[in-house]
Structure 1
Amino acid sequence: MPQTSVAAATRAARTPWYRILYIQVLIAIAIGIVLGHFWPDVAKQMKPLGDAFIALIKMMIAPIIFCTVVHGISSMGDLRRVGRVGIKTLVYFEVVSTLALGIGLIVGELLQPGAGFNIDPASLDANSVATYVTRAKQDGIVAHLMAIIPDSYFGALAKGDLLQVLLVSILSGFAIAALGERGKPIASAIDQAAKVFFGVIRMVVRVAPIGAFGAMAFTIGAYGIGSLSKLAALIGTFYLTSLLFVLIVLGAIARMSGFSIIRFIGYIKDELLIVLGTSSSETVLPQLIQKMEHLGASRPVVGLVVPTGYSFNLDGTNIYMTLATLFLAQATNTHLTIWQELGILGIAMITSKGASGVTGAGFVTLAATLAIVPDIPIGSLALLLGIDKFMSECRALTNLVGNGVACIVISRSEGELDREALNHTLAHPISEGEALEPGAAQA
């Protein structure tokens, strides 16, 4: 393993700077911002570039999750072990997610980002958020739970709904594991199929700079940098809270697990920049899976934790939900008692589950929360409509870091973390091309 990593690091060091993915993405984002600011009409026409890149990635998400989860469960063999890892993962997600929700409430109360707005809800354009409100009301708790069940086995893969794909994948994994020796050829075939899908992703990820350019150019062109100044207090509070959550909360968890959060962030910098440009953590799900394996996390654990985390471990979305809810209450002079705030936290614990890494999912989830809390005028969501795109980037970045940390923590708790690989890889990060080479993770 060390020799392979050293060779990879040597090749990466010889790569010209202009061929390094994260530098290409940085340049693309900068060009997109300039174009959006000075030529907004032209920038808006760049939207298809970002949409196309996200669509290319999403095209591969369902089959990759299916293959990864099925192989992860079937390769464990012991179904009791699968259950233990699954329960441990969900408990960890619930604890950290609840902590994120609580931090959002505390910061919102301390900094009061919405104080002084004195907004009359009647003066807001409720029609601008009517679509989100309607969708939120349709996605009630019962409907949300029923939606987890797909219309058909292959329908889940065709539709690409993360929770439906997870359900089908988990059931398939258990069924193959129950076959014993007869199921091993099936598991092997699924593993080989996964390598094909990762090969496709390896090609698609090379056009990430184009996608990041198109998405950022459209965002700045459509909403303008000036829109940030209007609600700078909320944006600044959210970014600061997310940063402190990553460095302090996730940093402490990482330190207890034997690694540095700063080095980990440096290790996934390529993925973070792609997420920054596209505002969607789904665009790097396949790369995150591969990088966690290369980092020394157990492959079966990675196969369970990372895909599940995309629906159940959304730290950034949770911070946003409670912080934004308090902001809207403060901006509309809606007084909330401590019991009402705790009620919001409890409701958010439910509504936040299943909000995947797609752009805008956090906004719909916030609408669902407000639909259940009648005290805060739901029309006040119009205040956030213009800046949600900028908030979405921070949500996705925080979610990504949180899922990566969770994967290492769970793998370590199972005694299946290669500490030598972890320390060496964080000290000598590999390039994105090496990380996505078939078999690189197991070298």
Structure 2
Amino acid sequence: MQSASATFQDPARPRRWYASLYVQVLLAIAAGITVGLVWPETGSALQPLGDGFIKLVKMIIAPVIFLTIITGIGGMRHAEDIGRVAGKAFGYFLAVSTLALVVGLIIANVVQPGAGMNIDVATLDAGAVHGYADKAHEATIPGFLLSIIPTTFLSALTDGSILQVLLVAILFGIALSLSGEAGVAIHRLAEQLGEVVFRLVAILMRAAPIGAFGAMAFTVGKYGLGALLGLGKLVATFYLTSALFVVIVLGLIARVTGFSIFRLLRYLRDELLLVLGTSSSEAALPALMQKLEQAGCAKSVVGIVVPTGYSFNLDGTNIYMTLAALFIAQATGVDLSLGDQIALLLVAMISSKGAAGVTGAGFITLAATLSITPAVPVAGMALILGVDRFMSECRALTNCIGNAVAAIVVARWEGALDREQLRAALAGKSAQGAQTFTASGAPAD
């Protein structure tokens, strides 16, 4: 599927610096922080700007995933190819997401961000986390599995569940690949619809700076920097751990696969700034899938790996879960044995899957994990409630980067990666030497 975003600007025309989505979002984030600090009430009132932009993007996620998957799978000759791609993806997800949990556990034991706080659990406001705990109890494994099955075919495209869209799209794509000439005609129509949908994505991305401005102004205006400074050691430890995970763990994986993690971050800077500004990795999902296809990953691989990874490959959320759980234990004076920590790790391996399908995913999933492992008091989550919003931005960034790396790795394993196109894209050029274009319609560099 050819990117429609490139049609918004003639590559021969000189690009003005302010036309770059990267610059626009960066300026919007800075302006949002300023408004939140100087006029906190005004900043808090700007929440609808950020929420509205995220709703606009979520509106288009279902058709993007559906059309990408059915056109990718519909072009496969054998249905077993789909199972092979999914199997490799889930193998990667299990290994890397488990490693993220272990990293969070190790760092929490070494740094001990909650040590010395001596918080009495009885003094904590358990009611502050009551609603999250209720939602956590609803997120049972059987309930999660049944929630993947939509009520109707069309409801999968309207209910906002990525996994439901994924299930329906995979089944439809398989049927399409087995339908002979009728399937070929529908496949061609789906590709044409896909071009229109990605043009719509490019239009929506023009509103990204407004959404980033509103979301950042609300965050700083509502919670202030005081809350961030009060629990600064936890927040700083989490950000540093996530950065090290991206640079060292994902960097080594990238190096073995044949690309540089730093060039990938540069290539995806528009999408990552959008995630930073909105605290939502879903906000960049359509543009991320488009960018990975432009970088040489097969459409069928991107269509399966990226949407699935948004529920099963949440590296940032996994680091947060074990790190935050041990922080609460340390802050409340709970001494966790090695057995307790292993039990926590095993529970988190299960509870973290499907987290993206729940509103307030990271915090709710942490509540679910602590409710199953009673050694750590769930009421202790009140300690981090005030700064969770700041940490959600880092969770979303790490999740987004992790899924981009996963798509490239699985594409390489499948022999479905154009390595020349990848090198050219990460260098800021297309395979033919032309510039690549972002969702804003501006050249990537």
**If the length of structure 2 is used for normalisation, what is the TM-score?**
0.93
Q: Which residue pairs with 2:437 in the alignment?
A: 434
Amino acid at match of 1:378: V
Q: Does 1:59 align with 2:64?
A: no
Amino acid at match of 2:364: V
- Contact kept, 8 Å, 2:163 with 2:307, in 1: the verdict is no
Q: Which residue pairs with 1:37 in the alignment?
A: 37
Q: Does 1:204 align with 2:204?
A: yes
Greater shift after overlay, 403-412 or 13-22? 13-22
Per-residue Cα deviation, 1:207-235 (whole angstroms, up to 9, x for no partner): 10000000000000000011111111110
Q: State the 1:432 CA deviation.
A: 10
Q: Which residue pairs with 2:378 in the alignment?
A: 378
| d(CA) in 2 for partners of 1:321, 1:114 | 14
Greater shift after overlay, 230-239 or 328-337? 328-337
Per-residue Cα deviation, 1:246-288 (whole angstroms, up to 9, x for no partner): 0000000000111110011000000010000000010011111
- Richer in helix (by share): 1
Secondary structure of the residue aligned to 1:376 is coil
| d(CA) in 1 for partners of 2:401, 2:10 | 26
| d(CA) in 1 for partners of 2:217, 2:136 | 29
Secondary structure of the residue aligned to 1:350 is helix
> Compared with structure 1, are the counterparts of its residues 371 and 412 closer, same or farther at alpha carbon in structure 2 (3 Å cutoff)?
same
Q: Does 1:222 align with 2:225?
A: no
| d(CA) in 1 for partners of 2:9, 2:189 | 31
Q: State the 1:34 CA deviation.
A: 0.7
Percent identical pairs in the alignment equals: 54
- Contact kept, 8 Å, 2:62 with 2:157, in 1: the verdict is yes
Q: State the 1:335 CA deviation.
A: 1.5
- Contact kept, 8 Å, 1:280 with 1:358, in 2: the verdict is no
| d(CA) in 2 for partners of 1:420, 1:432 | 15
Amino acid at match of 1:97: S
Q: Which residue pairs with 1:261 in the alignment?
A: 261
Q: Which residue pairs with 2:172 in the alignment?
A: 172
Amino acid at match of 1:348: A
Q: Which residue pairs with 1:126 in the alignment?
A: 126
Output aligned runs, 1:7-406, within 5 Å. 11=11, 14-356=14-356, 360-406=360-406
- Contact kept, 8 Å, 1:282 with 1:357, in 2: the verdict is no
Question: How big is the alpha-carbon RMSD for the aligned residues of Structure 1 and Structure 2?
Answer: 2.2
Amino acid at match of 1:288: L
Greater shift after overlay, 183-192 or 208-217? 183-192
Per-residue Cα deviation, 1:368-401 (whole angstroms, up to 9, x for no partner): 1111111111111111111111000000000111
Per-residue Cα deviation, 1:157-209 (whole angstroms, up to 9, x for no partner): 11111111111112212222222343122222222222222111110100100
Secondary structure of the residue aligned to 2:355 is coil
Per-residue Cα deviation, 1:6-46 (whole angstroms, up to 9, x for no partner): 99999388211111111111111111101101110111111
- Contact kept, 8 Å, 1:293 with 1:302, in 2: the verdict is yes
Secondary structure of the residue aligned to 1:385 is coil
Q: Which residue pairs with 1:3 in the alignment?
A: none
- Contact kept, 8 Å, 2:69 with 2:299, in 1: the verdict is no
Greater shift after overlay, 52-61 or 345-354? 345-354
| d(CA) in 2 for partners of 1:306, 1:42 | 37
**If the length of structure 1 is used for normalisation, what is the TM-score?**
0.94
| d(CA) in 2 for partners of 1:432, 1:336 | 54
Q: State the 1:355 CA deviation.
A: 1.6
- How many residue pairs match? The answer is 434
Amino acid at match of 1:153: F
Gaps of 5+ in 1: 1-5
Amino acid at match of 1:146: L
| d(CA) in 2 for partners of 1:84, 1:381 | 40
> Compared with structure 1, are the counterparts of its residues 357 and 260 closer, same or farther at alpha carbon in structure 2 (3 Å cutoff)?
farther
Moved runs in structure 1, 4+ residues, more than 6 A? 6-10, 430-433
| d(CA) in 2 for partners of 1:285, 1:425 | 18
- Contact kept, 8 Å, 1:21 with 1:432, in 2: the verdict is no
Greater shift after overlay, 182-191 or 29-38? 182-191
> Compared with structure 1, are the counterparts of its residues 32 and 7 closer, same or farther at alpha carbon in structure 2 (3 Å cutoff)?
closer
Greater shift after overlay, 16-25 or 356-365? 356-365
- Contact kept, 8 Å, 1:132 with 1:364, in 2: the verdict is yes
| d(CA) in 1 for partners of 2:341, 2:398 | 23
